[in-house]
Every structure is written in structure tokens, then in C-alpha cells.
Amino acid sequence: MASISADYNKNGELYYIIRIGSDHSGQRVTERFYPKRKGNCVMLRSKKTDAMALKYAAELEARVKKEKEERRPVEKPFEIAISCKETFQQIGDKFIAEMDSIGYAGNTQSNYKLTLKKHIYPVLGGYSLSQLTEPVCEKFLQDCSSTLGKDVCKKVRMIIGSIFDFAITAGLIKENPIKNIKLKEAYLMKRHRVKKREMDTPKTYSMEQIEELKMVMNGQPLKWRVYFTIVLETGIRRGECCAIRWENIDFNNGELYIDRSCNYTAEKGIFFDLPKSGKTRTVMLGDDAIELLKELQWIQAKNPSEYVFTQRGKPDVMFPQVPTKYFHNLEVEYSLPFHCNPHKFRHTFASLAARYNTSQMTVSALLGHSDLRSSERYEHPYTKAEEVAAKRVIETIGGSTIKPSGKTPK
């Protein structure tokens, strides 16, 4: 998929830098796109120019892909599936061993291993690839839907599909037998009626739910009031929030620099990596968030740590799974009539930003999906559009309304 960033040249002309994968010779393709303008008027970045850039990027990507296809050397046909003797588990283990080089994150690798061991290998592990036909795979997925939840079923299907794709790349089979199998809603609801409620659960919080959460959070420990305020106002990922250090916060300008993510696996323990997009970014914080952070920093001075969110009684960084457990317990303790988890704040932020007709590119930049250069973002944290969008979201939710206690020294 193409990555796009906007800029202005020394004459004040708007242009977009479009980067896509490599061409037939292995060279990375980078082009500049200047939106057409009428007369001598200066073209400013807008939703319309973003759409023009996206259209040009799609055309460029299609053109490069076509050229690569035309210049691709003739390959020897793969061995037919029926002659492949390796079992699904053997291929799956080879896939797991290659995940790191393919580019899968540590958390994903750990999750895949657990799902394979618990749900997939006990049933499909002994099958040879030639035995795993589409009807066999469909029957297995239907059986899963009657015993597992919706999200687990989708994960199982995704992992099986990834292993089959890996086998195709290795030349062991010619087609993915599950590519045409879809998880039907009837299957996913088969287990019991609770699954229907899960399927109907919105991925965002309504304004009424946000207000209810604010009331609940006002009675929670300061660390969790700070966490709630930050993820609500910025939409950053769970791991990005856990990884925040005090040096990442600009108290004077109300900005937060996101430069890494906190992860955990049983094999590695806690470790840090770049954000999911591989890029750093700066986000805006409201006044209440800044005051809450000052209060937490003052209290934390008794047990100093470089991290904002620490383990109880220790200066070590908080485990990234803890926020999910905390908000789940909050949902149960207060009998909240809606599902509560940290990632839902991210969807809510995106939804609120889009409500003001914010361009998709601007929302992506705020959420860390864009390809903006890290050095430029650190020195020039926002485009005007991003700043406006962030302020509107903070204003819509009324700041955090999680008020500081006023305990910080004046």
C-alpha cells in the first residue's frame, strides 16, 4: 500500500510525496504529485487535494504492478498439492520459525503459537496438506464456531490462512483452500445468545457512555485517571501509552511525543519496539491532562521512575496487558451496560475526528498510520489540519473533566 505525506516547496506550492514498494528492478518508487490548480491561485491542502493524491497513488501503484507483471520471468510450476507429504503442523512450525524475519511483532508471534497449540494443532496438526481440502477446512471452522467466541474464530481462520499462504510461497501447494470460506453469522452465533450481544457491541463509546465513564473514573486512583484522560484525548494505542516516559511530555506546549511501544510475551518478558506503524509522532494534550500529569509526577517523586505508568510499588514500567484487565474489572464492578476496553478509546477518537469532516489522511496522521518523517514531526509537530482536529476532539469530550486534586506545588 502506498504511503503519502504532504509538504510545501519554497514557492509555497503544495505537493505530495508518494512512496510505494519496489519496481521490477528492486528500486523503491518515490514520486512527487502536484495537485492541479485553477489560474494563479495558491493550492492549499484540503480534503479534496488529499483525495486527488490518494487517486494518483492508486494509479501509480497499479502502473508499477502491471510493469512488474510484464517483466516477471517465467517460473517453473509448483509441485502439485497431492505430492506434498508434510503435515500441517510441520508447515505451521516452519511458519512460526520464519515469523520474525517476515516482520511479525513479538506479541503476534506469541499469540499465534498459543492459538495453534490450543485450538488448531489438536485437530488439524496431523493432516497432510493434500488432505486439507476446502470442505475439511470449512467443517473445522464450523466446529470452532460452535465452541469458541467470534473473535477467536476469526483469529483461527486468519492463522490457518497465513500458514497456507506460507506453503504457497514455499511451493508446496498451489492454492489456499480457505480463501473462499467465510465465517457466516449463523455459525458465530451458534454457541449461545451472549454471542449475539457481542456481535452487536459498537466499537466506539457514545457521548453518554463517555460521561458515565468520567463519573466512574473520578473515584479511581490517580494513575488510572491519567491513563483514561490520555487515551481518551489522543487515541494512542495501549502499548504506546504504557511506554510513555516523562521526557516524552512537553508540559509547556501541551504535547506528547510517541516514539515507542511497550510489549510483553512469555518468552521475552517486557520489551520495547517502535510504534506499530514504525514511525514516531507527536499528539496534543488538553489542559486537564497536563495538570493531572504534573500531579502524578509530583507524587511519583517519592519513588522516582522514568516511566509515567509503573507497577505497583516499583519503578518498573507497567505490563501492557494490565489496562485491559483493569477496564474489564471496572465494567464488572460498576455493572456498566457496555463493553469497556482501552482500544475502544482509539476507535472513539477516530470517530469523533471524522465527525468534523476531517480528511482520512489527517486522522491517520493523528493515529499513527501515516508516513510522516519523524524528524519533521518532532520539530514541527502538527499540520494545521491535525491541530484543528485534535482540538475539536478534546473540546467535544469537554476536556477530560477528570479534575486534578490541586495537590501539586504552585
Residue spans of the domains in the chain: they are 3-71, 81-199, 207-396
Q: Which long-range contacts link 141-147 to residues 24+ away (Cβ below 8 Å)?
A: 141/178, 141/181, 141/183, 141/187, 142/187, 144/119, 145/183, 145/187, 145/188, 145/190, 145/191, 146/187, 146/190, 146/191, 147/191
C-alpha cell at 368: 499513527
Q: How many CB atoms lie within 10 A of CB 110?
A: 18
CATH number of 81-199: 1.10.150.130
What is the enclosing helix (H) or strand (E) of 261? strand 261-265
How far apart CA 365 and CA 376 sit, in angstroms, is 13
C-alpha cell at 167: 506453503
DSSP 67: H
How far apart CA 138 and CA 136 sit, in angstroms, is 6
Contact 36, 42 (CB under 8 A): no
Q: How many CB atoms lie within 10 A of CB 265?
A: 17
Whether the model pTM is above 0.85: no
Between 52-61, 132-141, 142-151, 309-318, the lowest mean confidence (pLDDT) is in 142-151
What would the pLDDT profile of 31-45 be if each residue is shown by its tens digit?
888 887 665 566 788
Contact 181, 157 (CB under 8 A): yes
What would the pLDDT profile of 12-21 be if each residue is shown by its tens digit?
788 888 888 7
What would the pLDDT profile of 200-238 be if each residue is shown by its tens digit?
467 788 888 888 998 899 889 999 999 999 998 888 999
Per DSSP, helices labelled H in 103-221 are 106-115, 121-124, 134-147, 150-169, 185-188, 194-200, 207-217
The reported pLDDT for the residue numbered 374 is 29
Bridge partners of 261, per DSSP, are: 273
Contact 250, 257 (CB under 8 A): yes
Question: Hey, do 81-199 and 207-396 end up sharing a CATH topology, with the first three levels equal?
Answer: no
What would the pLDDT profile of 123-163 be if each residue is shown by its tens digit?
998 988 888 888 898 888 888 888 887 788 889 999 999 99
Mean pLDDT taken over the chain? 78
Quick one: fold of 207-396? hpI Integrase; Chain A (1.10.443)
